[in-house]
Amino acid sequence: MPKVKEKLGVIQQTVNTWISDIRARQKASRNTDILRLRRLGWPQEKISETVGINQQRISQITNNADFGNIGNLLAQGRDMEYIARHYHMDIALVWALRLEGKTDQEKFKELGWGLRTWDQWYFNECDERFGDDWPGRIPAQREFP
């Protein structure tokens, strides 16, 4: 059976380059899946079983993931779609990493959503007819005479 290089009429180095690109994309895709599952709260043991690599390697991948460059790429004028392609990730995961640790208002500003009236609730007081006051109680509408 002829070798791939002979069949395609290319040198072995070209075949190796093609294979290394394919392997790099597969590895990036696998690492993205691992990071997504960790962000969803999956334990490393379960990720290890699902992905098929040992738990120690899962730990290395999640602990060594450096996405600090996202801010630098944005400062260079790159958009989130470019960054997603750069890291071989889907756009939702890149946004999740970008917004990690920010308050809701900071997230809204970053996403260009602005603050909407229904995002803030403020009640002067509770209507006593609807039970005792306790933390987390949402006031009912109070009728004023």
Which residue segment(s) compose the domain that 33 sits in? 1-65
Is the CB of residue 52 less than 8 Å from the CB of residue 37?
A: no
Measured in whole angstroms, the distance separating CA 32 from the mean position of its chain's CA atoms is: 9
Q: How confident is the model at residue 122 (pLDDT cuts 50, 70, 90)?
A: low
- In-domain check, residue 104: no
Indicate whether this model's pTM tops 0.85: no
pLDDT one-digit tens code per residue, 93-114: 888 888 888 888 888 888 888 7
- In-domain check, residue 42: yes
Q: What angle do CA 26, 32, 34 make, to 5 degrees?
A: 105
Tokens of 133: 């006051």
Domain count, the chain: 1
pLDDT at res. 108? 85
- Report the distance separating Cα 73 and Cα 82, nearest Å: 9
- In-domain check, residue 129: no
